[in-house]
Amino acid sequence: MKNNMADKTLRLILGDQLHYNHSWYTTTDNAITYVMMEIRTETDYATHHIQKIVGFFASMRMFSDWLRAQKHNVVYLKLDDKNNLQSFEANLDAIITHNNITHFEYQLPDEYRVDVILKDFSSRLSITSSVADTEHFFSTRNELGTFFDGKKIFLMESFYRAMRKKHNMLMEGNNPSTGQWNYDADNRKKLPKTHKPIAPLVFDTNVAAIVDMILQTDIKTIGTIDKAHFVWPVTRTQSLALLDFFVWECLPFFGSYQDAMMPNEWSLYHSRLSFSLNTKMITPLEVIERAIAAWQKRPEIIKYNQLEGFVRQIIGWREYMRGIYWLKMPEYAALNFFNHKEKLPNWFWTGKTKMNCLKDAITQSLTFAYAHHIQRLMITGNFALLAGIHPDEVDAWYLGIYIDAIDWVEITNTRGMSQFADGGIVGTKPYVSSSSYIDKMSHYCGNCFYNKAKKVGEKACPFNSLYWNFYDRHEDKLSKNPRIGMMYNVWRKMKPEDKKALLDQADYYLKHIDTL
């Protein structure tokens, strides 16, 4: 695009729009200026993990350096710059006025909150404005809504198959290349005790300047950081290195062990690409293409179930959650199907609990700003749901503690999949379990203070009584759900004295939740 010399365009790049191959950057134009900003409205809307704030700021600074190296005009406002007015609107107004900007452009935000801000800002401008696509996702914002138009059930599997067909991923014509769409049943193995997972690829970026800047403010953060050795990718080159490490070293085991959990093993065979993907340093298309290419080169080592499980997470679950978000927001953020009201236990912020599974998952989250999906769903999320924690509390914790947590993907997974606060829009049943599932998929229970086999009495595993208490409390809302009717049959057949003992045990634990 070439502008007249009198015309000046300002283009805003958000912190999760670091798309190195976006069409915006294919040509340079002196009449176009790009603006990026580190602002308090973004650091303060939730209490973030310090690694999350640092990860975004470091990645943004690297991206702005790259833009300048490509000869683009860039205005970059650091958090402590004296002329930083600490909000999108105030900074944009000042830059537009100071530089005599005649046209404003931005890319579609992924967060509803920011979308509203930028729509309102553009609507009151006296200059022209336009919006561009981020050129990142497989589907549009509204595609899922159109796909399920008129339907009451939004089945992810249906959308996943449609995405596979549309983008010709692992397909032969209109059929899946192996004759089978989904290999989830093959992907639920526990890690053998003697199995030592591969050491994760981590990076070694010095982010001391950013950490010191944050510590000199009153920004409230959680978690810890090694400022001399930041482990997360902050450039496209690092992101691609992590992708290559995953497809060659981890993908051969990913599918089988994607639900497995082991103490002191924070990465296992997971890709840990979500931060790079959610900031758009890499695209879902290139992620899937590299995984398929690795499988095609080594089909005897990378079995098909390992590949399909990964592809389903990217083109299926990720796109599905984004579609639900744009279909159901802003009302979705207030849904509370069970009317849960309790606060998170204080040990969610410290990891100091006697329950091994929760201690490990929370401590890991505080240390690395990361936990894999089963730790989030079936450990921390499971406990929060059983304990009747208010979804707002759970949302705030997940949004803050994880480096990959951006509202569009966090709230649908947390309020929907994890807490069933949406009443079944995302999940067909609440994902709750007693100790039996945790023991089946992990090695947490063996050395725990609590006894996994005990339902009541001293040192009885809290998950066991809380599990039955949850079903008892919500029988009116759940008893007709066909996927959990069997559990109510078991509950109804229990002796009255056994039921009472379970409910009394659960009541005791809930009243003393901060000491568990």
- The CA–CA distances, whole Å, from 285 to 94, 111, 138, 247, 354 equal 37, 21, 8, 14, 43
Q: In what order do the strands lie in the sheet with 9-12?
A: 73-77, 32-37, 9-12, 103-107, 128-132
Return the half-sphere exposure (C-beta side, CA atoms, 13 A cut-off) of residue 168: 2
CA 2/CA 4 separation, integer angstroms: 7
CA 453 centroid distance within chain? 33
Report CA Rg, the chain.
24
pLDDT at 2: 46
> Peptide bond preceding 192: is omega within 30 degrees of 0, i.e. cis?
no
pLDDT at 3: 46
Return the number of other C-beta atoms located less than 10 Å from residue 32's C-beta.
Answer: 21
CA 224/CA 310 separation, integer angstroms: 30
pLDDT at 256: 87
Under a CB-based contact definition with an 8 Å cutoff, are residues 190 and 442 in contact?
Answer: yes
Which residues neighbour 162 within 8 Å (Cβ) at sequence distance 6 or greater?
Answer: 147
CA-wise closest residue to 473 among 382, 338, 378, 336: 338
CA 487/CA 496 separation, integer angstroms: 16
pLDDT at 473: 96
pLDDT at 502: 97
Note down pLDDT in tens along the chain; length 516 residues: 444 457 999 999 999 999 999 999 999 999 999 999 999 999 999 999 999 999 999 999 999 999 999 999 999 999 999 999 999 999 999 999 999 999 999 999 999 999 999 999 999 999 999 999 999 999 999 999 999 999 988 999 999 999 999 999 999 999 999 999 998 887 778 999 889 999 999 999 999 999 999 999 999 999 999 999 999 999 999 999 999 999 999 999 998 898 999 998 999 999 999 999 999 999 999 999 999 999 999 999 999 999 999 999 999 999 999 999 999 999 999 999 999 999 999 999 999 999 999 999 999 999 999 999 999 999 999 999 999 999 999 999 999 999 999 999 999 999 999 999 999 999 999 999 999 999 999 999 999 999 999 999 999 999 999 999 999 999 999 988 988 988 999 999 999 999 999 999 999 999 999 999
Phi, psi at 374, each rounded to 5°:
-75, -35
CA 514/CA 512 separation, integer angstroms: 6
CA-wise closest residue to 430 among 363, 475, 371: 475
CA-wise closest residue to 264 among 372, 358, 361: 361
- The CA–CA distances, whole Å, from 184 to 193, 307, 308, 438 equal 22, 11, 9, 18
pTM equals: 0.94
Residue 331, class by beta-carbon neighbours within 10 Å (0-12 exposed, 13-18 middle, 19+ buried)?
exposed
CA-wise closest residue to 258 among 311, 301, 319, 181: 311
